[in-house]
């Protein structure tokens, strides 16, 4: 009976936390949605291994090691947001490392962690920080491979600058969230009042947002790759802004592990991060090998896939260690833009032990050769 009431209390807590997190940042759809080209969805989120997969290299740290077989329930991003990790999954690199991934779709990640349904997941810290502060049993354990908002603002060809957006209709992805926050900040920094000088509309993500742009429903939109590249190549739009240049400290990507996994299987947390960051670093440094797979995965020709990926290569930092000061900047921005009732203190939401070990062993972040 005691457990029953405990579960009921937790459910109520999670519901309240989710209300805060949905107002705080991008929806799970923003993070998980497929990144297929707009003209077809035939290859949408391939779950089968591509013919272009690569065997793991001989210097992979899990090679020739006695890896205990474990099962990990994981909620990982797809599309461009999770592209190199999906490459590792589909190429069997996690299995080689003794990790059997049970991939789960978690539209409500906070509730999934609270109910013990997932062990590790990625996503926007604005979703997770309020939940961790409210005692949902999980911790941020590393950055994602990139953790600055990889968003672009594109506009009709006749719109040449951000200043030209005054009086226009602009796609803001959704009514609240990280993409709208980013758009509002960029507009404000360029002398445009996002509440009075423009009309912001919720036009969705990825191909949905691109369709509203190509149809003329919006004059401009904030959007992910590869659609910024496609708009330019198709001659229907031009890039007005790479938004991370305006919000360099806004943090958009972390990996989170359940407290149970951290406490009972710390070596597994480390092993997952090891595969994750090795794969992302390998893909970045072996683009000629990676691009053919990526093009097929994204349902693009190789030239467009390469252009889209290389356009964001500066964001491909592969630094596991979380800078908590940037998390605080994120919290402050969410509060400033009315997406949280308060700016939460991020002390205690991160456990960097595993990220430190993986960064040191793979020579990433502060341990990289060019940082010494």
Over 80: is that where the pLDDT of 4 sits? no
Identify the bridge partners of residue 220 per DSSP, sorted by sequence position. Answer: 155, 170
Degrees to nearest 5, angle at CA 56 with 287 and 371: 60
Burial class (CB in 10 A: 0-12, 13-18, 19+), 12: exposed
The 10s digit of each residue's pLDDT in 109-125 is 999 999 999 999 999 99
The 10s digit of each residue's pLDDT in 300-322 is 999 999 999 999 999 999 999 99
State the average pLDDT for the chain: 88
What's the sign of the alpha-carbon dihedral 243, 83, 79, 28? negative
Task: Tell me the pLDDT band of 372, cut-offs 50, 70 and 90.
Answer: low
The 10s digit of each residue's pLDDT in 261-287 is 999 999 999 999 999 999 999 999 999
């Amino acid at each position: 009976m005691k457990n029953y009431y405990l579960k009921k209390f937790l459910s109520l807590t999670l519901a309240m936390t989710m209300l805060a997190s949905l107002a705080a940042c991008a929806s799970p759809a923003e993070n998980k949605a497929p990144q297929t080209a707009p003209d077809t969805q035939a290859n949408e989120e391939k779950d089968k291994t591509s013919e272009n997969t690569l065997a793991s290299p001989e210097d992979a740290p899990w090679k020739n090691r006695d890896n205990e077989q474990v099962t990990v329930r994981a909620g990982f991003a797809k599309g461009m947001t999770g592209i190199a990790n999906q490459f590792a999954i589909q190429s069997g690199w996690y299995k080689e490392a003794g990790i059997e991934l049970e991939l789960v779709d978690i539209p409500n990640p906070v509730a999934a962690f609270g109910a013990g349904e997932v062990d590790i997941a990625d996503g926007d810290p604005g979703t997770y920080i309020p939940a961790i502060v409210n005692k949902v049993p999980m911790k941020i354990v590393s950055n994602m491979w990139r953790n600055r908002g990889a968003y672009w603002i594109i506009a009709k060809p006749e719109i040449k600058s951000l200043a030209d957006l005054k009086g226009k209709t602009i796609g803001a992805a959704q009514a609240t969230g990280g993409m709208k926050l980013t758009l509002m900040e960029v507009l404000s920094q360029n002398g445009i009042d996002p509440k009075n000088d423009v009309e912001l509309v919720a036009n969705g993500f990825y191909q949905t947002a691109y369709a509203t742009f190509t149809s003329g429903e919006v004059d401009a939109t904030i959007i992910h790759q590869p659609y910024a590249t496609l708009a330019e190549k198709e001659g229907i739009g031009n890039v007005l802004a790479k938004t991370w240049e305006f919000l360099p400290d806004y943090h958009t990507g972390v990996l989170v592990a359940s407290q149970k996994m951290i406490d009972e299987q710390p070596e597994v947390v480390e092993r997952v991060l090891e595969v994750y960051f090795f794969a992302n670093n390998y893909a970045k440094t072996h683009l000629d090998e990676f691009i053919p797979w990526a093009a097929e995965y994204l349902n693009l020709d190789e030239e467009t896939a390469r252009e889209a990926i290389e356009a964001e290569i500066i964001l491909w930092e592969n630094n596991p260690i979380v800078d908590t000061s940037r998390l605080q900047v994120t919290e402050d921005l969410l509060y400033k833009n009315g997406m949280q009732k308060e700016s939460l203190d991020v002390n205690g939401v991160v456990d960097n032990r595993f990220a430190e070990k993986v960064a040191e062993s793979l020579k990433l972040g502060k341990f990289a050769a060019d940082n010494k």
